[in-house]
Amino acid sequence: MSVEARERTPSLSVRREALRGCALFQHLSGAQLEAVLARSTLQRFRRGNIIMHRGDPATGMVVILQGHVRISVTSAEGRETSLGMLGPGDVVGEMALLDGGERSADVAAMEDCVLLNINRSDFLILLESNASLCLRLMAVLCERLRDANRSVEEIATLSLAGRLRHTLLRLANAYGGTSIQEPQVSLRLSQNDLGTLVGASREKVNRQLRQWEQQGALECGRGTLRILKPNLLTADES
């Protein structure tokens, strides 16, 4: 391993803190946390790489340490629909982890990612001895279901501008960075990614973003979006 690669590899302490910051593992004891770390492995994926394929057997779940991933499904006709985006501290693959079934969606790296892989058999042993962890996992699954229901509702009831506004603000709140000098948030997100998240073509998304950019609400960069004035992301939701 090169020096550069070693510098990019999260240390054990960084991995430990990442797990502590993950809602699923917050209530583990120190010994239980160390047991998870001892049985986990690091994985790296370049931007655009597929991390999980829909239909693959479930061998475990992963915790995102660095980077963001996109969850999507592809129809028989080849049309891709994004189900959401996840970032540092989020877990991926928790549903198949429980029932041992196939992966229910594709997971792709939106940027270079570092993931912590936890084997299914090791995690199930931990679940059997920790009721609070079981409850937290149930909460994570319920949250994912609520997110899916909300996305379906938004696509059915809101205009494109409304869907796009809700999506941008939700992602910015969860993963955007804030500036000390002024209240700005940045997202590394392509217009194609946004299109699949809101159920619209890239061209329609581009048109709405340009309109907001002309109004001073946001700034579009190469693969990035900077929200300057969230209150100007107006949308006709009637």
Query: Mind listing the pLDDT tens digit of every residue in the chain (238 residues)?
Result: 333 344 467 788 888 888 887 777 877 788 888 888 888 888 999 988 999 999 888 888 888 988 889 888 887 787 777 778 888 888 888 877 777 788 888 999 988 999 999 888 888 888 887 787 888 888 888 887 888 788 778 777 889 999 899 888 888 877 765 544 444 567 777 788 788 888 888 899 999 999 999 999 988 887 778 888 888 887 654 4
In three-state secondary structure terms, 234 is coil
Residue 176's pLDDT is 66
Contact predicate 179/197, CB 8 Å = no
**pLDDT attached to residue 6:** 43
pLDDT at residue 210 in the model: 92
Task: Give strand pairing partners of 86.
Answer: 69
Q: Does domain 159-232 bear CATH number 3.40.50.150?
A: no
User: Length of the chain, please?
Assistant: 238
Query: Parallel, antiparallel, or unpaired: how do β-strands 69-74 and 106-109 relate?
Result: antiparallel
Crossing angle of helices 131-157 and 160-175, rounded to 10°: 150
Residue 76 token pair = 């028989």
Report the DSSP beta bridge partners of residue 72: 82, 106
Domain boundaries, the chain: 3-156, 159-232
The Cα 221–Cα 212 span in angstroms is 13
Please check whether the two domains, 3-156 and 159-232, share a CATH topology.
Answer: no
Query: For residue 49, what pLDDT is reported?
Result: 94
Distance CA 166, CA 235 (A): 9
Bridge partners of 148? Answer: none
What pLDDT sits at residue 7? 43
CA pair distance 62, 86, nearest whole angstrom? 11
Q: State residue 34's pLDDT score.
A: 86
The pTM of the full predicted model, rounded to 2 decimals, is: 0.71
Tokens 């963001």 found at: 68
Give the pLDDT score at 236: 54
Secondary element (H or E) of residue 151: helix 131-157
For residues 64 and 92, give the distance between their C-alpha atoms in angstroms, rounded to a whole number: 8
Given the candidates 3.30.420.40, 2.60.120.10, 2.60.40.10, 2.30.110.10, the CATH classification of the domain at 3-156 is 2.60.120.10
Identify the pLDDT of residue 8: 61
Q: Cα–Cα distance between 105 and 54 in angstroms, integer? A: 4
For residue 129, the model assigns a pLDDT of 79
